[in-house]
Structure 1
Amino acid sequence: MELDRITFNPQMMGGKPCIRGMRITVGTIVGLVASDITFDDILLAYPGLEIEDIRQALSYSAWRSEEIEISFLAA
């Protein structure tokens, strides 16, 4: 899976995953899609976005939801 449009910068948006270094987070895009906003309407609202940005945001979110985090407690 290629996610070359998902970027991370600790100095921007609290280090959240963003789209191509813009101040648009993956969470924003996923939230809009989850709210039944169409891809076309998202692209109109965010003129710098491209359809592939939306696809990769959804792919990244799906991938992250499958990760399992294990914490080890000190004895």
Structure 2
Amino acid sequence: MVRAATPLITCTPGIRSGKPCIAGTRISVSDVLEYLASGMSQDEILADFPDLRVEHLQAVLSYAADREKRLSDLTTA
């Protein structure tokens, strides 16, 4: 494991090219964000991916928000 912002989000070399994924799955943070951006509800995502829990979706949103803040801090520094 390379780095994790939370135990629910992991980056593992060889799994999805090291992209941040929901722990124990091959579902990337960007996949979930794209599903949400396309208009899927959390309930629809959870129905399509029975291994996921609400906590996973919250971890994805938290990870994305933290990443956005770090990028914003870099550009305003």
* Pairwise TM-score range, normalised by the shorter structure: 0.7 to 0.9
Structure with greater proportional helix content: 2
Structure with greater proportional strand content: 2
Q: How many residues align?
A: 69
Q: Distance in 2 between matches of 1:3 and 1:18?
A: 11
1:21 has 2:38 as partner? no
Contact 1:13–1:23 (8 Å) recurs in 2: yes
Q: Could you list the runs of 5+ residues in structure 2 that have no partner in the other structure?
A: none
Structure number with greater Rg is 1
> RCO (CA 8 Å, sep 6+): is it higher in 1 or 2?
1
4+ aligned runs moved over 4 Å, structure 1: none
Contact 1:12–1:23 (8 Å) recurs in 2: yes
Cα deviation 1:17-74 (Å, max 9, x = unaligned)? 000131000001111111121000000111110010001001101110111358xxxx
Q: Could you list the runs of 5+ residues in structure 1 that have no partner in the other structure?
A: 71-75
Q: TM-score by structure 1 length?
A: 0.83
Percent identity, aligned pairs only, is 36
